[in-house]
Amino acid sequence: MTTIAPRPQNSQRASSAARQPIKPVKKKGVLHYIGVGLSFGLLSLVLLLAVMVVALPMLTKSTPYTVLTSSMNPSYPAGTLVIVRPTDTQQIHIGDVITYQIRSDEPAVITHRVIQIVEPTKVGDEVKFITKGDANTLPDPEVKPIQVRGVVWYAVPFIGWINNVINGGMRNVLVPIIAGGLFLYAGFMGASTVIDRRRKAAAEAAKAEQDEADAELRELVDAPRV
């Protein structure tokens, strides 16, 4: 009498799983990951510039000015954006870099270093400042306290030229828009990377399950008959 060994209940599942093809996951190339890194780097740079050029000056009531000449080389070459913070003239010392109006109440300003402080010699006089550009040989005329706009707090190289083109309210609008756009792009790239990783993990799990099903099917096919 010939009998056939009963087939396990999961043989049908194994056979079905073995017949199901696994969709290959398209791997992202090196350029994709370089793009993600560059996006986050550029986003960080724009956010940092937004803080330094827009947010901090607004919070501290400071004013950004662009250095237009080479008189302050090498400390502040032309194109440097200097952030000038209002400072009590009594707190200005020799060596400080100040921004002052060429003529009081007029917009034209000069940013030079204080090389001498002239103290008042009689009642009614006021302190005066002697300034000079680091690259200049001669000092400037005396500067009165009313002309002083403040002391240079910090500087951002090269951004001054952009500040001249995009200034005032336009800068306050464009910087957040650019930063927001880069943030969305970086977020999209990051989310794409996470999704790809999950798809890869799912494909690997499906492949492992299929390999197990194939092994079970082979065991059934190779099982000896009695």
pLDDT in tens, 80-96: 999 999 999 999 999 99
Give a yes or no: residue 217 inside a domain: no
126: Cα within 13 Å, side-chain hemisphere:
10
Both 118 and 96 in one domain: the answer is yes
Both 73 and 132 in one domain: the answer is yes
Q: What percent of the chain is modeled with pLDDT above 70?
A: 71
Question: Cis bond leading into 74, ω under 30°?
Answer: yes
| Segment holding 114, helix H or strand E | strand 109-118
Residue 37 belongs to domain spanning: 28-60+169-204
How confident is the model over 104-114, as pLDDT tens digits? Answer: 888 899 999 99
Specify the DSSP class assigned to residue 75: T
> Which range, of 73-77, 151-155, 187-191, averages the lowest pLDDT?
187-191
Give a yes or no: residue 144 inside a domain: yes
The DSSP code sequence of 25-61 is: PPPP-HHHHHHHHHHHHHHHHHHHHHIIIIIHHHHHT
Q: Which amino acid is at 105?
A: D
Average pLDDT, the chain: 79
More confident residue, 43 or 115: 115
Both 83 and 146 in one domain: the answer is yes
Helix residue spans in the chain (DSSP H): 11-19, 30-50, 56-60, 159-165, 168-222
Q: What pLDDT score does 167 carry?
A: 60
Token pair of 7 as six digits = 């087939």
Q: What pLDDT score does 2 carry?
A: 47
pLDDT tier for residue 169 given thresholds of 50, 70 and 90: low
Q: What is the CA radius of gyration of the chain?
A: 35
Q: What pLDDT score does 1 carry?
A: 47
Q: What pLDDT score does 184 carry?
A: 73
Is the pTM for the entire model greater than 0.75? no
1-10, 37-46, 143-152: which has the highest mean pLDDT? 143-152
> Which range, of 47-51, 118-122, 130-134, 164-168, averages the lowest pLDDT?
164-168
Residue 201 exposed, middle or buried by CB count within 10 Å (0-12, 13-18, 19+): exposed
Give a yes or no: residue 83 inside a domain: yes
Both 68 and 86 in one domain: the answer is yes
CATH number at residue 112: 2.10.109.10
- The yes-or-no verdict on residue 221 having pLDDT over 70 is no
Domain count, the chain: 2
Four-residue CA torsion sign, 36, 159, 60, 97: positive
